[in-house]
A and B are shown apart, each in its own frame.
Chain A
């Protein structure tokens, strides 16, 4: 089922608030809290912080190992990246290629892999993003 509405005029909303950008995205639900969804921090990152080595700034702990290379190869297959630019890193050239692909697909051109971007690349989400540590049962009922 799909419904679609489009507003072609300017809307202005003013909210009285204090500091803070976004407060209400986290809906309140009766569903019991699931296991930790954010994967454990990688030991390399811990060591990097402790020893002062450069930090990755992008994807450690969020993407699967080898995810960047899979994305690069798919971008290469689709003609958005040259073959000699597949180095397994989310470098500026890869981000620019991702940005072009996202624009082509009508997605926000962030240059970063979103779930939707990965779906549009026809890649398996599990091969790109880290998931929960333990399989989670679907709740019998949930409120939203």
Chain B
């Protein structure tokens, strides 16, 4: 379920050849994405079905939304000072994770303009995730290729891990750890073949005994099970200081471009986050934790300074 409201919308028409396309500017829109996460056992069962081809789950028809604003084909969308809330409706507390101060621009959505100028769709966006994470996103995409073709870079810088715990805490009663995390993601998808990498940088993170449960809870909620992204979890590798390659195949008649892109983004961030936690570097003189091993309570870790966003 998606709810959207805004205080102001501006529609401009522009003649492109013999047709008229439109540009939409939404001011202070508030979008709520209501999401009922599967229970953990369902998520685990779904994970076992990795052999099944990737399929995008039910999606929002943006065309329907946009045509409520204008009957013209939309070539350009601007969002100023927007907010997006991801609401977990499967819990009584209905915890929300907010993306606010959203500034977004999507250009060249119609084929006529794109063909004239020879340019792909370009999406640029910045926002604040929860109260602390500086989020930025740059994506190019070709909706008219036979197979999914897109490329993107995204970053979250300075996200306090406690923010994520606050989201998970109502169900798990977990304690919020200290520390911040930066995540850098880049990906390319050519005709359905996805490659890329995630780089997590954890700073001053204190690991607690219940973090494994936290990661499971986060992954169960946040991962798009319809989009498979595989990382190469290598034992004894310090994932915090390196890039975790991701790859996958996004094919099938039901896979659509934009849901696939956001599914990849979502999964990449969760993969980076959980890999960063799972393979925190050991204290001096200790061996790296084995996959699935429980870290010592309240270990504190810090990694090298983050790359420039």
Contacts and interface: CB of A to CB of B under 8 A. Distances in A.
Q: 3 closest Cβ contacts across the A-B interface? A: A18-B58, A23-B59, A52-B242
Contacts of B145: 33-34, 36-37
B211 interface: no
Instruction: Choose among B15, B109, B153 the residue with the greatest number of A CB atoms under 10 Å from its CB.
Output: B153
Contacts of A4: 10-13
Interface in A3-45: 3-27, 29, 31, 33-34, 36-39, 41, 45
Given A2-B12, A38-B151, A115-B122, 14 more contacts: A19-B263, A20-B57, A21-B60, A23-B256, A27-B143, A37-B119, A38-B140, A38-B142, A49-B245, A57-B153, A62-B151, A108-B78, A112-B138, A115-B107
Contact of B112 (A48, A136, A144): A144
18 contacts: A2-B15, A4-B10, A4-B13, A20-B59, A23-B59, A23-B61, A29-B111, A54-B243, A57-B307, A59-B153, A60-B186, A62-B153, A110-B126, A116-B76, A131-B119, A132-B118, A132-B119, A135-B118
Interface string B143-160: 111100111011100000
Contacts, number: 287
A34 B144 contact: yes
Contacts of A16: 1
A116 B105 contact: yes
Contact of A144 (B57, B73, B199): B73
B49 interface: no
A10 B5 contact: yes
B257 interface: yes
Nearest to B15: A1
B308 A29 contact: no
Interface of B: 1-15, 19-21, 33, 35, 56-66, 68, 70, 73, 76, 78-80, 103-112, 114-122, 124-126, 136, 138, 140-146, 149-151, 153-155, 184-186, 188, 190, 195-197, 199, 224, 226, 241-243, 245, 256-259, 262-263, 307-309
Interface of A: 1-27, 29, 31, 33-34, 36-39, 41, 45, 48-50, 52-62, 89, 91-92, 95, 99, 102, 107-116, 125, 129, 131-132, 135-136, 138-139, 142, 144
A13 B29 CA distance: 11
A33 B120 CA distance: 12
A109 B111 contact: no
Nearest to B29: A11
Given A45-B186, A129-B122, A19 B226 contact: yes
